[in-house]
Amino acid sequence: MKNILMVFVLSSVFAFGNTCSQDFSIAVSYLAGEKSKDSHSTSEKYAISGSSVSYSVKYSGRKGKNDIDMDKVCEFTEQNIENIKKTIIAKELNVTDSLFQESSKTKSFEQYTNISIAISMDGNEYKIRINGDTSELKDSSLYKNSMYFITLLHKMVKDCS
């Protein structure tokens, strides 16, 4: 299963190298962490190529009782893909942009994120990178829209069989 997942992820990554491709693909990496006395983080990865989807979640540090590492492969419907494309456009994620929080890392408590979104859609490629303390990123529309998109993907993968 892990070999199949790795082949799928690698083929999705290589698909982004072909700028003439009309195929639809997405690669999302989302890390959410907390620097504190009980530090922990959650790392999620989504790869969509056509209608094929792979999802992986890994937890480190302090874990809750429902925090179980998982890998999942499934198929989205045509309607799912259309909803994703509409969301990309509506939330203005069809851009190449980055957002990096610049303040020092000397805080004793911090909730942070590292987001990477690569989209290949309608012959165009878009890349979004976000990194920093979520309290300082929270007012940015790029951050809010990216989080909305990741939440949508999470729900869709959860419901996918």
Q: Percent of the chain beyond pLDDT 70?
A: 80
Angle between helices 141-159 and 78-90 (to 10 degrees): 170
Q: 138-161 pLDDT, tens per residue?
A: 999 999 999 999 999 999 999 998
Output 112 or 1, whichever has higher pLDDT: 112
Domains, the chain, with CATH or none? 2-159 (3.30.1560.10)
Weakest-pLDDT range from 70-79, 106-115, 131-140: 106-115
| pLDDT higher than 80, residue 104 | no
Give Cβ neighbours of residue 15 (< 8 Å, ≥ 6 apart): 21, 23, 25, 49, 120
Q: 56-99 pLDDT, tens per residue?
A: 999 998 777 788 999 999 999 999 999 999 999 999 999 999 99
- Decide if 42 contacts 154 (C-beta within 8 A): no
Taking the model in full, what pTM does it have?
0.82
Weakest-pLDDT range from 70-84, 106-120, 124-138: 106-120
pLDDT at position 123 is: 93
What is the signed CA dihedral for 108, 61, 159, 82, rounded to 10 degrees?
A: 50
Average pLDDT, the chain: 85
Which segments within the chain are labelled E, that is strand?
A: 25-35, 40-49, 52-61, 70-75, 97-100, 110-121, 124-133
